[in-house]
């Protein structure tokens, strides 16, 4: 991999005090009214093509893959841009023309009028999220479900953030190219970008063999940063035009009005492009729970982040408040040193307490599907699931152990009768909070933020296994 150049912030006309203030602001965003606070997992900030700040909070790491959720959509857009440049994709063609086997079934003129550019811009005409309705119609072929559910608004005008539109766009790309989205992107984009570990990247699928497009891509933070830098550079990379500049321009400008998504200060109300959100400053790809790729053309900067955050507007507000003023403000070696110190030895927080003793607990409720019993010793946590699956994880005092199967844990006796366990799924934003009662021998489990797809321990922890890469969706409703 060709390494991105690294520089001190001051050498790229950036005051590191602003970066420290941004990180401090994230730390200060605590849980309010049941909404979880901000928990960063990684951050990478580029200025003038140089990495000026980067960090990972243990147990997350630079080489670790992270579920990007809807930030995956921007990669689907990029694949569509490549197919468009190869003349395999026509933005002004009806979606139905790519699925001729459905032509006789899809008779409603509203569905027949949906164009490829409409699904690329979330303006297929449905007024609400349509994914579950598509699955209800045809769980095994959501494209059919999409086309058999006519829009109740106007295609090309009505905006609704709907997973199905991106899924159908990805399905078209995969049909015309004869490969999955990820396989199509590898030689045309990921390899020329110099992305490390591209063979390890994966995308969840539904139906089998089709990358779902709207979520499920697992990639590193630097992969996200490089994609943002490619768009910032108009699709050019090291003297090669990887992505057509015309596509970059169209994808990153307003294609449809999204002002129904909040007031004037909302970064979700600034317009939507081709699988990119417009922002009050620049534009971005983003995914649930805090996955971000913010591109700032005026500042020649890119911010890539992963984490666990329900209030993503607060993250963007902190960036506008602290990072923007730091650009083109004189820095100093002292400020650079303060930032370097701030970014050392970071780890996810965990409550103080005493070492745990050997004990066993059974589930008090069925909050977590399949987990029925856990066993603790001072050095291990063992999880017993209803299907007979047993997972044993090491415990270390004062630190997060290295992940085992993309799963790691900490456990502490936080009160006389209470043991608290944090179970971290290190290829996702999510952790499971397990509270054990020493008096009753029972435990309760609660997600800090609810996973949007698989919700069992075995499916979340083992999703990197090639045999486990199917997204979990509800069964067809009767």
**Cα–Cα distance measured from residue 349 to residue 326, given in angstroms and rounded to the nearest whole number:** 27
In sequence order, the β-bridge partners of residue 174 are none
Half-sphere exposure of 105 (CA within 13 A, CB side): 15
- The CA-to-CA distance between both ends of the chain, in Å, stands at 51
* CA-based max dimension of the chain: 70
390, burial (CB in 10 Å: exposed 0-12, middle 13-18, buried 19+): exposed
| In a shared domain, residues 376 and 324 | no
**Cα–Cα distance measured from residue 372 to residue 256, given in angstroms and rounded to the nearest whole number:** 48
Q: Is the peptide bond before 290 cis (omega within 30 degrees of 0)?
A: no
Q: Which of the listed residues 316, 342, 368 is the one where a domain comes to its end?
A: 342
DSSP state letter for 129: -
Best CA proximity match to 430, nearest among 412, 402, 408: 408
| In a shared domain, residues 383 and 336 | no
Q: Which of the listed residues 342, 370, 403 is the one where a domain comes to its end?
A: 342
Tokens found for residue 112: 């027949």
**Cα–Cα distance measured from residue 125 to residue 117, given in angstroms and rounded to the nearest whole number:** 12
Tokens found for residue 304: 């890539």
**Structural domain count, the chain:** 2
Q: Is residue 153 part of a domain?
A: no
> How does strand 442-447 pair with strand 359-363?
parallel
Q: Is residue 431 part of a domain?
A: yes
- What does the pLDDT read at residue 440? 95
- The pLDDT-based confidence of 462 (bands split at 50, 70, 90) is low
Q: Is residue 137 part of a domain?
A: no
Residue 446 has pLDDT above 80, yes or no: yes
Enclosing domain of residue 223: 9-85+174-342
Encode pLDDT of 81-122 as tens digits. Answer: 999 999 999 999 999 999 999 999 999 999 999 999 999 999
| In a shared domain, residues 246 and 186 | yes
**Cα–Cα distance measured from residue 367 to residue 384, given in angstroms and rounded to the nearest whole number:** 15
Q: Which of the listed residues 342, 369, 393 is the one where a domain comes to its end?
A: 342
CATH of the domain at 37: 3.40.710.10
Q: Taking residues 19-35, what's their average pLDDT?
A: 78
Half-sphere exposure of 426 (CA within 13 A, CB side): 22
Q: Please indicate whether residue 311 or residue 457 has the higher confidence score (pLDDT).
A: 311
| In a shared domain, residues 325 and 430 | no
Q: Is residue 50 part of a domain?
A: yes
User: Could you give the dihedral angle defined by the CA atoms of residues 51, 57, 62 and 63, in that order, rounded to the nearest 10 degrees?
Assistant: -160
Encode pLDDT of 28-73 as tens digits. Answer: 886 544 445 789 999 999 999 999 999 999 999 999 999 999 999 9
């Amino acid at each position: 991999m060709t390494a991105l150049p690294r520089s001190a912030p001051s050498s790229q006309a950036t005051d590191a005090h602003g970066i420290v203030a941004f990180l401090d602001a994230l730390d200060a965003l605590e849980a309010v009214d049941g909404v979880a606070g901000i928990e960063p997992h990684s951050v990478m900030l580029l200025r003038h093509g140089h990495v000026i700040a980067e960090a990972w909070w243990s147990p997350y790491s630079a080489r670790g893959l992270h579920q990007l959720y809807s930030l995956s959509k921007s990669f689907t857009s990029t694949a569509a841009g490549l197919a468009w440049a190869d003349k395999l994709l026509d933005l002004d063609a009806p979606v139905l023309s790519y699925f001729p086997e459905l032509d006789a079934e899809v008779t409603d003129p509203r569905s027949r009028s949906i164009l490829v550019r409409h699904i690329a811009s979330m303006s297929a005409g449905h007024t609400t999220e349509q994914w579950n309705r598509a699955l209800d119609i045809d769980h095994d072929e959501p494209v059919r479900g999409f086309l058999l559910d006519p829009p109740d608004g106007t295609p090309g005008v009505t905006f609704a953030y709907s997973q199905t539109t991106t899924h159908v766009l990805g399905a078209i790309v995969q049909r015309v190219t004869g490969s999955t989205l990820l396989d199509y992107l590898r030689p045309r984009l990921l390899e020329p970008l110099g992305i490390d570990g591209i063979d390890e990247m994966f995308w969840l699928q539904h139906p089998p063999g089709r990358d779902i497009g709207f979520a499920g891509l697992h990639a590193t933070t630097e992969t996200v940063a490089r994609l943002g830098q490619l768009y910032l550079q108009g699709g050019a990379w090291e003297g090669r035009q990887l992505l057509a500049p015309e596509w970059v321009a169209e994808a990153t400008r307003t294609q449809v009005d999204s002002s129904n998504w909040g007031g004037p200060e909302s970064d979700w109300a600034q317009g939507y492009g081709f699988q990119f959100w417009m922002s009050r400053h620049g534009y971005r790809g983003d995914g649930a729970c805090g996955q971000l790729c913010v591109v700032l053309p005026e500042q020649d900067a890119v911010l890539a982040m992963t984490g666990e955050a329900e209030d993503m507007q607060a993250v963007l507000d902190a960036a506008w408040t602290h990072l923007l003023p730091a650009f083109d403000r004189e820095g100093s070696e002292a400020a650079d040193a303060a930032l370097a110190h701030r970014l050392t030895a970071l780890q996810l927080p965990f409550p103080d307490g005493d070492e745990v003793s050997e004990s066993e607990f059974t589930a008090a409720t069925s909050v977590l599907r399949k987990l029925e019993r856990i066993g603790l010793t001072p050095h291990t946590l063992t999880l017993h699931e209803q299907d007979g699956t047993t997972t044993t994880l090491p415990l270390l005092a004062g630190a997060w152990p290295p992940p085992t199967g993309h799963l790691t844990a900490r456990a502490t006796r936080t009160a006389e009768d209470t043991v608290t366990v944090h179970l971290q799924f290190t290829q996702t934003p999510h952790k499971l909070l397990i509270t054990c009662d020493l008096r009753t021998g029972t435990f309760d489990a609660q997600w800090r933020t609810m996973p949007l797809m698989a919700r069992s321990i075995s499916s979340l922890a083992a999703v990197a296994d090639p045999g486990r890469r199917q997204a979990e969706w509800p069964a067809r409703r009767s």
